[in-house]
Amino acid sequence: MKSGKVLITGATGFIGGRIAERLWIDYGIISHCLIRNFSNAARLARLPVKMFAGDLLDRPSIERAVEGCEVVFHCAYGNTNDLYLNRRINEEGTKNIGEIALRNGIRRFVYISSVSVYGSHQHENVNEKTSVQFSDDEYGNSKIRAEEICGDLISRGLSVVIIRPAIVFGPFSPIWTVGVIKRVLVGGWEDVEGINGLCNSVYIDDLVDCLFLSIKIDEAAGETFIVSGEPPITWNEYFRAHIQLAGLSPPIKISRSRRRVKTLTESEGSWDGLDDSGNRVKMGVYIYQTQSGETGTIFIRR
pLDDT digits (tens, 9 = 90+) for 226-250: 999 988 899 889 998 999 988 888 7
User: Could you report the per-residue pLDDT of 140-155, keeping only the tens digit for each?
Assistant: 999 999 999 999 999 9
pLDDT at 189: 76
Chain segment 6-47, per-residue pLDDT in tens: 999 999 999 999 999 999 999 999 999 999 999 999 999 999
Dump pLDDT digits (tens) for 165-211. 999 999 999 999 999 999 888 877 777 666 678 899 999 999 999 99
DSSP code per residue over the chain: ----EEEEESTTSHHHHHHHHHHHHHH----EEEES-GGG-TTGGGS--EEEE--TT-HHHHHHHHTTEEEEEE-----SS-HHHHHIIIIIHHHHHHHHHHHTT-SEEEEE--GGGG-SS--SS--TTSPP---S-HHHHHHHHHHHHHHHHHHTT--EEEEEE-EEESTT-IIIIIIHHHHHHTT---EETT---EE-EEEHHHHHHHHHHHHH-GGGTT-EEEE--SS-EEHHHHHHHHHHHTTPPPPPEE-TGGG-EEEEEEEEEEEEEE-TTS-EEEEEEEEEEETTS-EEEEEEE-
Looking at residue 278, its pLDDT comes to 46
pTM of the model: 0.83
- Domains annotated for the chain, with CATH where assigned, are 5-168+199-227 (3.40.50.720), 252-301 (no CATH)
Question: Which position has the higher pLDDT, 58 or 189?
Answer: 58
